[in-house]
Amino acid sequence: MRFNVERIRTDFPILNREVNGKSLVYLDNAATSQTPNQVIDVIVDYYRRLNANIHRGVHTLSQEATDAYEEARIKIQKHFNIAKSHEVILTSGTTHSINLVASGFSSYLSKDDEILVSAMEHHSNIVPWQMLCERTGAVLKVIPMNQNGELVMEDFHKLISERTKLVFCNHVSNALGTINPIEEIIKASHKVGAAVLVDGAQAAPHIKADLQALDVDFYTISAHKVCGPTGVGMLYGKEFWLKKLPPYQGGGEMIAEVTFDKTTYADLPHKFEAGTPNICGGIAFGAALDYMNSLGFDDIAVYEHELLEYATSELLKIEGLKIYGTAKNKTSVISFNIEHIHPYDIGTILDKLGIAVRTGHHCAQPIMDFYKIPGTVRASFSFYNTMEEVDVLVEGVKRAKNMLL
Ligand code: PMP
């Protein structure tokens, strides 16, 4: 076998856990991925050997911690083929990254401007833009989706115009797994002079995006979706935009000079990195990307696709089960419901069987409204899941159905 999943699983100590007396089957990877020893060791080593504040100390520990943190920035830069390391802003995650951009555009929009957002966004890629529209009077318009959970691109091309200033879309939908045609969206947006922010939170564990080739203006990810820790992430921004946008927060680290008359701001990336950052998290983020790259994104994609196909065909054998999100181009995410059963009840029974899935609206209520459902059960697979775990899930769902109907 090309992809040695049994060996890979030994990197993840948590996968040996029992939950409710059963072996854990972790299928909530779209919410947060698990952490391999290679990343846990970096976190432990940081606090055992390196812990110090960065960018400001002359002492050895501070310099070593600074070097490790800046090395992580370079790893992120290389991973996403970003032209300049100062175009990588380290944030607390996707939500922080998006809010930073939304806040920065406040002074550049007015009531004659339009913002386009896709119908399948996570709340973190909806609410900050609504708040921006409230501040500026700009109008939010929605790129619709179809029953398969794909964007209706003809409508997108009709909606975009000279009035469009910003376009927001996720690379991959967290609730449906749909891979969106972001290349087409970016090209058409640039033709009318609109900037594009792509939320890459759900793409990052599956797709190694080349941000220069995409020519995207902003791209955001969270480390905890790619085997890294929580509370750290990336905002990529083209140098042009990062220079143009004002700082998001004021404080230490982000200044050049402070007097009570006037403060000047630090150069990129520090202009957007006020305060002591998540130093350990940033270093571990770099280690997490190293780990994923050591497995290889092409091999990960092939294996996860096999898991997706097998799980889809086995689940569809269950009468009354409906999958939401049937796009041809999708990642290893299956959102489903069983007729007459609330998703929460299925999730609760699966948990009793040691199976971790997500239930609810997945922070994407407009998608649930579109399908007229309260939520779904979402099983999201990672490269460390096995075909046997798919079987355990399918048996669990059958059992839940028998108990609940
Ligand atoms: N966008 C998408 C598509 C997501 O899946 C998530 C996390 N569920 C977020 C944004 C928000 O990420 P975070 O909570 O790490 O800021």
pLDDT tens track for 345-392 = 999 999 999 999 999 999 999 999 999 999 999 999 999 999 999 999
- Name the residue of 207, 222, 333, 382 to mutate for ligand 1: max ligand atoms within 8 A of Cβ: 222
* Residue spans per domain, the chain: 5-30+296-404, 40-293
Question: Is 201 touching ligand 1 by the criterion CB < 6 Å?
Answer: yes
Cα separations in angstroms, 344 against 31, 166, 334, 360, 383: 16, 36, 15, 7, 26
Name 323's bridge partners: 336
Cα 343 to chain centroid, rounded = 23
For residue 57, the model assigns a pLDDT of 82
Residue at 144: amino acid letter: P
Distance 119 CA to ligand 1 centre (A): 16
**Binding site membership of 178 for ligand 1 (Cβ less than 6 Å):** no
User: Residue 330 pLDDT more than 90?
Assistant: yes
Q: Atom 6 of ligand 1 has which residue's CA nearest to it? A: 201
5-30+296-404 and 40-293, same CATH topology? no
pLDDT digits (tens, 9 = 90+) for 100-148: 999 999 999 999 999 999 999 999 999 999 999 999 999 999 999 999 9
Q: Quote the ligand 1 centre to 121 CA distance (angstroms).
A: 10
Residue among 394, 380, 356 at smallest CA distance from 304 = 380
Q: Which amino acid is at 215?
A: D
Task: Look up the ipTM and state it.
Answer: 0.98
Cβ(136) to ligand 1 under 6 A?
no
| CATH code for residues 5-30+296-404 | 3.90.1150.10
The best mutation among 95, 178, 367, 378 to test binding of ligand 1, ranked by most ligand atoms within 8 Å of the C-beta, falls on: 95
C-alpha span between 119 and 371 (Å, rounded): 12
Place of tokens 């090209």: 187
The best mutation among 117, 224, 363 to test binding of ligand 1, ranked by most ligand atoms within 8 Å of the C-beta, falls on 363
| 363 catalytic residue (yes or no) | yes
From the list 133, 169, 280, 363, the catalytic residue is 363
Binned at pLDDT 50, 70 and 90, residue 243 comes out as very high
Per the CB < 8 A criterion, the answer to whether 128 and 98 are in contact is yes
Establish whether residue 222 lines the binding site of ligand 1, counting it when its CB lies within 6 angstroms of any ligand atom: yes
Query: pTM score, two decimals?
Result: 0.97
DSSP 245: S
* Residue 95 Cβ < 6 Å to ligand 1: yes
In the block, tokens 């944030």 appear at 91
Mean pLDDT across the chain: 96
**Residue from 232, 227, 234 nearest 383 by CA:** 227
* pLDDT on residue 255: 85
Atom of ligand 1 nearest to the CA of 93: 16
Quote the pLDDT of residue 80: 98
Query: Could you tell me if the CB of 199 is within 6 A of ligand 1?
Result: yes
What is the helix (H) or strand (E) element at residue 324, kind and residue range?
strand 321-324
CB 99 near ligand 1, within 6 Å: no
Is the CB of 122 inside a 6 Å radius of any atom of ligand 1? yes
CATH architecture of 40-293: 3-Layer(aba) Sandwich (3.40)
Q: Can you say whether the dihedral through the CA atoms of 347, 348, 349, 354 is positive or negative?
A: positive
Q: What's the CA gap between 333 and 317, in Å, rounded?
A: 17
Write out the H or E segment, with its range, that includes residue 174: none
Tell me, what's the pLDDT at 381? 98
8 Å CB contact between 91 and 100: yes
Using a 10 angstrom Cβ sphere, with 0-12 exposed, 13-18 middle and 19 or more buried, the burial of residue 379 is: buried
